[in-house]
Amino acid sequence: MNRITTEVPFHRRTRASHEAAYVAEALSGDRLCAGNVFNRQCESWLQTHLPVTRALLTHSCTNALEIAAILARLQPGDEVIMPTFTFTSTANAFALRGAVPVFVDIQPDTFNLCPHAAEQAITPRTRAIVPVHYAGIACNMDAIMALAEAHHLTVIEDAAQGFGAAHHGRPLGSIGHLGTYSFHHSKTISCGEGGALLLNSPEHVARAEVLLDKGTNRKLHQAGSIAQYSWVDLGLSAPPSAMQAACLLAQLEESTSLLQRYRAVWSTWHAALADTEQAGLLRRPHLPPDIQHNGHIYAVLLPDAAKREALASALQALGIQTARHYYPLHLSEAGRRLGRSAGSLRQAEDINERLLRLPVYPELPSWLPEQVTRLVKQVFSDAV
């Protein structure tokens, strides 16, 4: 098979029609910092389209997780259960509070937190569970919420990859007590760096607004209730600038059609690779019942690490980029120092060795999935 004429990058951000115009409008406005009209419009868009009490725009999902960790009032030594197969930010946010990330295994079908492993990891110090919706495919939230209720735990959904996806029709991020989104460049709906914190009940609203605004009660001052604002709590500098929010607003307004295009590319991969799964050459993503995914990631599992490398190299030779994903946190240097493992983490270790992400974005050449499928058969022809 010949090298294709243009490189196929692993990711290409899809622009929304109005984003350049909105960013230009933001730049010509008189307020680029927090409290600008675009930030307010994004928050209002999220609050209108999601069943949440309040949505607050942040610089990143990392930032939103850090605020969620403060809202959960974690103390040093408290334990927070999370999958080991996740990004560093999931654990960092809690380690920064002095809490201990407790790493548990994932389910082999969805690569999401295993509720049984989470249950086994509960101790008298456990305060929170952080389900991560890998690839925008929902965790078993029924089991996780039941566990949390039985043990009085806070559920903070890391829905970094979950915008536009749902479980039993309920948007990811709006099911736990708190939820977080990423609008990073690499996500389906993006503005460079960006995120959101979702508050799913009124109890956290007032404190969250203070935490986001450097620990001050400036909002009360702006509303005319106090003459001078001051430092009242812990705080971070969270809201993005008007330029980021303007770009995000254009993306949010067009998100239904953008996500449909992502899902269509995902489905093209899924259909093209059906034969290869039947032939036992790889495993395609498995979708649990009653979920809506967002087409963010198409990850296949190869039979072993050597076959994963063989396929990635063959695709690279043709100019097609692919990617592995998370190095399990319990194996990482900081994870060993700052967290602890609970139970066997064999599934995550195994999946880390065999998972390969294929490029998914609306501008992906439509012939690519068929070509890659032929290549898979060719590379593993001895196995067919």
Tell me which residues touch ligand PLP (CB under 6 A). 60-62, 86-87, 89-90, 132, 158, 160-161, 182, 184, 195
Amino acid identity of residue 360, one-letter, is: V
Query: Any residues with CB less than 8 A from the CB of 62 and at least 6 apart, and which?
Result: 89, 92, 93, 195
Instruction: Please say which residue, 195 or 369, places its beta carbon nearer to ligand PLP.
Output: 195
> What's the min distance (Å) between Cβ of 265 and ligand PLP?
19
Query: Any residues with CB less than 8 A from the CB of 80 and at least 6 apart, and which?
Result: 69, 74, 94, 99, 100, 101, 102, 126, 127, 128, 129, 130
Instruction: Please say which residue, 38 or 87, places its beta carbon nearer to ligand PLP.
Output: 87
Rounded Cα gap, residues 251 and 219, in angstroms:
27
> What's the min distance (Å) between Cβ of 235 and ligand PLP?
18
Query: Any residues with CB less than 8 A from the CB of 378 and at least 6 apart, and which?
Result: 1
Q: How many CA atoms lie within 13 A of 296 on its CB side?
A: 27
Partners of residue 128 on adjacent β-strands: 80, 154
Q: Residues 129, 101: contact at Cβ < 8 Å?
A: no
Place of tokens 């709590």: 233
Instruction: Please say which residue, 64 or 249, places its beta carbon nearer to ligand PLP.
Output: 64
Token pair for 187: 């996500």
> What's the min distance (Å) between Cβ of 374 and ligand PLP?
31
> What's the min distance (Å) between Cβ of 90 and ligand PLP?
5
Instruction: Please say which residue, 164 or 369, places its beta carbon nearer to ligand PLP.
Output: 164
Count of residues in the chain? 384
> What's the min distance (Å) between Cβ of 93 and ligand PLP?
9
Instruction: Please say which residue, 184 or 307, places its beta carbon nearer to ligand PLP.
Output: 184
Instruction: Please say which residue, 190 or 217, places its beta carbon nearer to ligand PLP.
Output: 190
Instruction: Please say which residue, 41 or 60, places its beta carbon nearer to ligand PLP.
Output: 60
> What's the min distance (Å) between Cβ of 327 and ligand PLP?
12
> What's the min distance (Å) between Cβ of 88 and ligand PLP?
8
Kindly report the three-state secondary structure assignment for every residue of 15-37: CCCCHHHHHHHHHHCCCCCCCCH
